[in-house]
Amino acid sequence: MVKKNHSKKLNDKQILRGSTAVLLFMLFVAVPVKTFGQDNSDCFGCHDDKSLTGTKNGKTFSVYVSEKNFTKFVHGSVPCIGCHVDLKDAEFPHNEDLKPAKCGGCHKSEQELHAKSLHGKAIARGDNLAPTCKSCHGGHEILPVKDPKSSVYPMKIPFLCGRCHQEGTKVQTQRTIHQDHIVENFSESIHGEGLLKKGLVVAPNCASCHTPHSILPHTDPASSIARKNIAATCTKCHVMIEEVHRKIIKGELWEKKSHTLPACIDCHQPHKIRKVFYELGMANQDCMSCHKVESLKSSKDNRSLYVDIKEYEASVHNKTACSQCHSEVNASHVRPCETITKKVDCASCHANVGEEYKKSTHGMLSAKNDPNAPVCSECHGTHKILNKKNPESRTFPTNIPGLCATCHREGEQAAVRYKGKEHSIIESYTESIHGKGLMKSGLTVTATCTGCHTAHRELPHANPNSSINPKNVAATCGSCHHGIQEKFEKSIHSSKISNAKNLPSCNDCHSAHKIKRADSEGFKLHIMDQCGRCHEEIAKTYFDTYHGKVSQLGYTKTAKCYDCHGAHDILSPSNPESHLSRKNVLKTCQKCHEGATRKFAGYFTHATHHDPKKYPILFWTFWGMTGLLIGTFVLAGIHTLLWLPRSLQWKRELAKRVKDKEKLNDENKEAENKEDGIDA
């Protein structure tokens, strides 16, 4: 257990105290002792004396080694000359100018690794800041690693390394160390917190990633923190990380091709690993150093490569680094993006959506490299993607019809290749109840294109997996109109009840894109034609009745198909639950004809006078009346036709008579005048 008084950070005082102790040990061991003994007791004969001192380079220091204490430590049974090899067979008192103790005699592999490491090479260069074995492990009083008091006990390692690798130390200030605030950051990281605060000795310390002895710069391919080795280093602990990260990074990519981004540290920065996601910063800034230039253009096709960082920061992906989407960038290149060969694959994160899209018409066309196929970015945009709940988003409900219209409007690329019956889809939708609900009433819960066709799984209606396949339409509409779906599925039109072929689904009566309010006049009249498409004969006979004739005139205040048969709950009249069963028919008539009696219900609502077998009375009445009509007109017609020429003749004769009479009158007058004249 770590004591509570261990602060999160190692303070300077603690480190100073530790450093002093180690320094004393170094001096002590380095003291030349005049002895020739081979036995430890020979050595302790002199060195067990607390006052014993030695001098080196003009400095005097204690060379006291407690025999009693020494035997308690791991090397207690090791002869002094096993380490101080240059004193073997030496005369006492031995020469004061001793070589450092040799650890490699026993710890050969560690010695070799250390020699090749940054630390070992620095020693070889004569760098006086480079740590030797003793710098970390101590001199005579070395404890087992598993002993909590050991200076290399996991929990103490951050403090041990921190002696040199923290702000203000000579190492940090005088040597080239690329990371800063290493110990501080580590102690705040999830690893540091686990180790120092939660006392998890299995939590990684410095040596877990950097190794204890083979510490190498990340540019060295042999280093445990070299880019290609990072995955292996991290997965020593995070064995199942692939499972967890599948949706975020293509598992294969980051392990098998570990030279390509993203490697663990691209997201999870080395010493700042947090439970919360990696911190952004560097990578994006690197990208933006070029892409912030508005005039930046592709040398290939001259398209703008400018990225508006403000748009990106306002987007839903503002916590996603450039390199997460543009995953082929290579940080070791001057232009990391020059290794990019493919377009962004959104499915690396949005895996489920990606799968759906692949199976859709859009996705299948896209797979064939059809230039008309919309890819993610055509609908969602690129750097400015907003949450679909944001009214500014291209996929906000009120924006969807316009979005789909860019291809599906008449004359556009999708509409041109479409061979089905639906035309002027966008215009029809806009005028439909759904379109008006959305665009005029601002009801964002209204069905938009994607409401019925789905956002990523859109397929032609013939496809059994399509949301608009006749089999699935009821459920699709039912996602909003659930009550109707329940009724419909109990009706004779539902495949759950009837085995008939070509059963109607919602759109067969309501249409797909021209859906009107069910209480609008237009719909009420239209629906009868819709019924008549399948029920052809019976619809004709309906139009021979008063009800049918009134509705044909364009009025709806009369019994229409659904007023009697029901709309969504249509059943065969032979079904007792039908609105037209013997049990219910009178009630159905009485909806309009209040005083209707049982006899009244005997009216033929689908009457034809052309069927002598089914309706003999009507047939014979009609032909009786027609016979009367024809008979009358034939007789009267003959009479008239015969009359006409005679009448013309008669008229001429009358005219002649009038003329004759006038002539006669004139003659009479003349005669009278003559008589008058004679008289005169």
Partner 1 sequence: MHKEEEQVLRFSRLNRGLHIVMIISFISLSLTGMSLKFSYTSWAVALSHFFGGFEATGSIHRFAASVMVIVFITHIVDLTRLKRKELGSWKELIFGKDSMLFNRKDWEDFIGSMKWFLGKGERPEYGRWTYWEKFDYFAVFWGVFVIGSTGFTLWFPEFFTRFLPGWFINVATIIHSDEALLATGFIFTVHFFNTHLRPEKFPMDIVIFTGRMPLEEFKIDRPQEYKELVEKGELENYLVEAYPPIVTRTIKIFGWTALSLGFFIVIWIIYAMIFSYR
Q: Which residues contribute to the site for partner 1 (CB under 8 A)?
A: 540, 543-546, 548-550, 552-555, 557-558, 593-597, 599-604, 607, 609, 615, 617-618, 621-622, 625-626, 628-629, 632-633, 636-637, 639-640, 642-644, 646-648, 650-651, 654, 657
- Residue 569 burial (CB count, 10 A): 18
Q: Tell me, what amino acid is at 523? A: F
Q: Which long-range contacts (CB under 8 A, 24 or more apart) does 39-44 make?
A: 39/79, 40/67, 40/79, 40/80, 41/67, 42/92, 43/80, 44/70
Nearer to partner 1 among residue 462 and residue 625 (C-beta): 625
What's the first-to-final CA gap in the chain, in angstroms?
173
Q: How far is the CB of 508 from partner 1 (least distance, A)?
A: 24
Report, in Å, the least distance between residue 388 CB and partner 1: 47
Is 112 exposed, middle or buried, given 0-12, 13-18 or 19+ CB atoms closer than 10 A? middle
344 close to 377: Cβ distance less than 8 angstroms: yes
Q: How far is the CB of 619 from partner 1 (least distance, A)?
A: 10
What's the min distance (Å) between Cβ of 400 and partner 1? 39
Tell me, what DSSP letter sits at residue 165? S
Closer residue to partner 1 (CB): 594 or 676:
594
Nearest distance from residue 604's CB to partner 1, in Å? 5
Shortest gap between Cβ of 623 and partner 1 (angstroms)? 10
Query: CA 53, CA 288: separation in Å to the nearest integer?
Result: 64
Q: How far is the CB of 591 from partner 1 (least distance, A)?
A: 13
Segments in 84-140 forming alpha helices (H): 108-116, 118-124, 133-137
Minimum CB distance to partner 1 smaller for 352 or for 647: 647
Residue carrying structure tokens 């009216």: 603
How far is the CA of 236 from the CAs of 182, 191, 239, 249, 253, in angstroms? 22, 14, 6, 19, 18
Rounded to the nearest whole angstrom, what is the least distance from the CB of residue 622 to partner 1 in the complex? 5
The one-character DSSP state at 144 is: P
Q: How far is the CB of 679 from partner 1 (least distance, A)?
A: 24
Residue closer to partner 1, measured from CB, 347 or 607: 607
Handedness of CA 444, 445, 449, 455 (dihedral sign): positive
Nearer to partner 1, 64 or 622 (CB): 622
CB of 553 to partner 1, least distance (A): 4
Burial class (CB in 10 A: 0-12, 13-18, 19+), 645: exposed
- Residue 632 CB, shortest distance to partner 1, in Å, is 6
CB of 601 to partner 1, least distance (A): 6
Q: Which two tokens stand for residue 82?
A: 């096993």
Least CB distance to partner 1 at residue 675 (A): 21
Of 125, 151, 177, 110, residue with least CA distance to 18? 151
Nearest to 153 by CA among 368, 344, 3: 3
CA-wise closest residue to 136 among 222, 68, 211: 211
Dump strand ranges (E) for 206-363: none
Give whichever of 66 and 558 is closer to partner 1, judged by the CB atom. 558
Give the Å distances, CA to CA, from 375 to 127, 351, 366, 382, 641.
59, 15, 7, 11, 80
Q: Are 140 and 29 in contact (CB under 8 A)?
A: yes
Q: Is 60 helix (H, G, I), strand (E, B) or coil?
A: strand
CB nearer partner 1, residue 482 or residue 549: 549
Q: How many CB atoms lie within 10 A of CB 259?
A: 12
Nearer to partner 1, 436 or 526 (CB): 526
Smallest gap from Cβ 671 to partner 1, in A, equals 19
Q: H/E element holding 576? A: none
With 0-12 CB in 10 A as exposed, 13-18 as middle and 19+ as buried, what is 230?
Answer: buried
Q: What angle do CA 603, 606, 611 make, to 5 degrees?
A: 105
Cβ-based nearer residue to partner 1, 355 or 537: 537
In the complex with partner 1, the residue whose CB is nearer, 199 or 637, is 637
Would you say 36 or 546 has its CB closer to partner 1? Answer: 546
**Structural contact between residues 186 and 9, judged by C-beta atoms closer than 8 angstroms:** no
Would you say 58 or 595 has its CB closer to partner 1?
595
Q: Is 259 or 587 the residue whose CB approaches partner 1 more closely?
A: 587
Alpha-carbon distance of 192 to 261, in angstroms, equals 26
Q: What does the CA dihedral 329, 333, 335, 340 come to, rounded to 10 degrees? A: -30
Strands 53-56 and 59-62: antiparallel
Q: Nearest distance from residue 546's CB to partner 1, in Å?
A: 7
In the bound state with partner 1, the residue whose beta carbon lies nearer, of 252 and 662, is 662
Q: Are 209 and 216 in contact (CB under 8 A)?
A: no
Which of 109/632 has CB closer to partner 1?
632
Q: What is the dihedral of CA 566, 567, 572, 576, to 10 degrees?
A: -40
DSSP class of residue 249 equals: S
Task: Give the nearer residue to partner 1 in terms of CB position, either 276 or 553.
Answer: 553
CB of 657 to partner 1, least distance (A): 8
